[in-house]
Amino acid sequence: MITVALPKGSLLKESIRLFKSVGLDFSGFLDNSHRQLQLADSSGQAKGLLVRAQDVPVYVEYGQAHLGIVGYDVLREKQPKVAHLADLGFGGCHLSVAVESNSGYQSAVDLPPHCRVASKFVNSARQYFQSLDLPVEIVPLSGSVELGPITGMSEAIVDLVSTGRTLKENNLTELEVLYYSTARLIAHPLSYRLNDSGLNEVIEKIRSESQAKISA
């Protein structure tokens, strides 16, 4: 039986739709009347695990799931030992440097050396500013990163942007885009090579379905 790690949050509905299109139905996770974190698909071919998006690659890397769907931002930040199989084309967003709109900064290189930058994406932020040869202090936060500049704790933030509405409502402006992110299909490397439980057939169906949607 194939085990699939599905991400809670914004990618869940589209992930379930994608698997349903290839014959694996995990729609039960959308039923708010229960809180099941594991369930078998209706065909009995697979079971799904409902986990935090950041934990999807952990379950896949450690072999508790054969397949998973997760944003490229999580893969870029965590660098897990998993097989990257396909860009699924949904869940688009980007990681940006942002500052207060009245700060006067026009680009990231305008930030003063050794200033504070708040972010959930500590590794990505550090690598980016190292590439600019600009020494900064990365302040790790797990939520409400926008409060960094508002409270004066940080000069800037590095955070995911989807519509830009949250930044605008908090008087913040993007300076630079570090990278773009979409949902990705990942697999446990050994399971993928061994075609465990007929895994490769499911992978090819998902690739075909995703490519058709992206090309449409």
Q: If you write DSSP's letter for every residue of 36-67 in order, what string do you get?
A: -SEEE-TTSSEEEEEE-GGGHHHHHHTTS-SE
Any idea of the CA torsion for 140, 145, 146, 148, to the nearest 10 degrees? -30
pLDDT at 45: 85
173 & 205 share domain: no
66 & 40 share domain: yes
CB 107 within 8 A of CB 174: no
87 & 18 share domain: yes
pLDDT at 216: 62
Tokens of 73: 């931002």
122 & 163 share domain: yes
111: containing domain: 93-179
Residue (of 190, 159, 168, 203) closest to 19 by Cα position: 203
DSSP classification of residue 107: S
Tokens of 166: 């949250």
Q: What are the start-end ranges of the H helices in 44-164?
A: 56-61, 72-78, 122-131, 147-151
Helix and strand numbers (H, E) in the chain are: 8, 11
127 & 77 share domain: no
Residue 108 vs residues 88, 95, 130, 158, 163: alpha-carbon distances, Å: 30, 13, 12, 11, 21
CA distance 130 to 78: 18
| pTM of the predicted model over 0.85 | yes
pLDDT at 209: 87
User: Residue 102 sits in a domain of what CATH number?
Assistant: 3.40.190.10
109 & 54 share domain: no
Place of tokens 């061994």: 194
Burial of 57 (0-12, 13-18, 19+ CB in 10 A): buried
104 & 53 share domain: no
Q: How many domains is the chain partitioned into structurally?
A: 2
128 & 77 share domain: no
97 & 76 share domain: no
17 & 85 share domain: yes
99 & 86 share domain: no
Instruction: Write out residues in the chain with pLDDT < 70, as ranges.
Output: 213-216
CB 71 within 8 A of CB 178: no
pLDDT at 29: 92
CA distance 206 to 66: 14
pLDDT at 24: 94
Tokens of 79: 């660098």
pLDDT at 34: 77
87 & 108 share domain: no
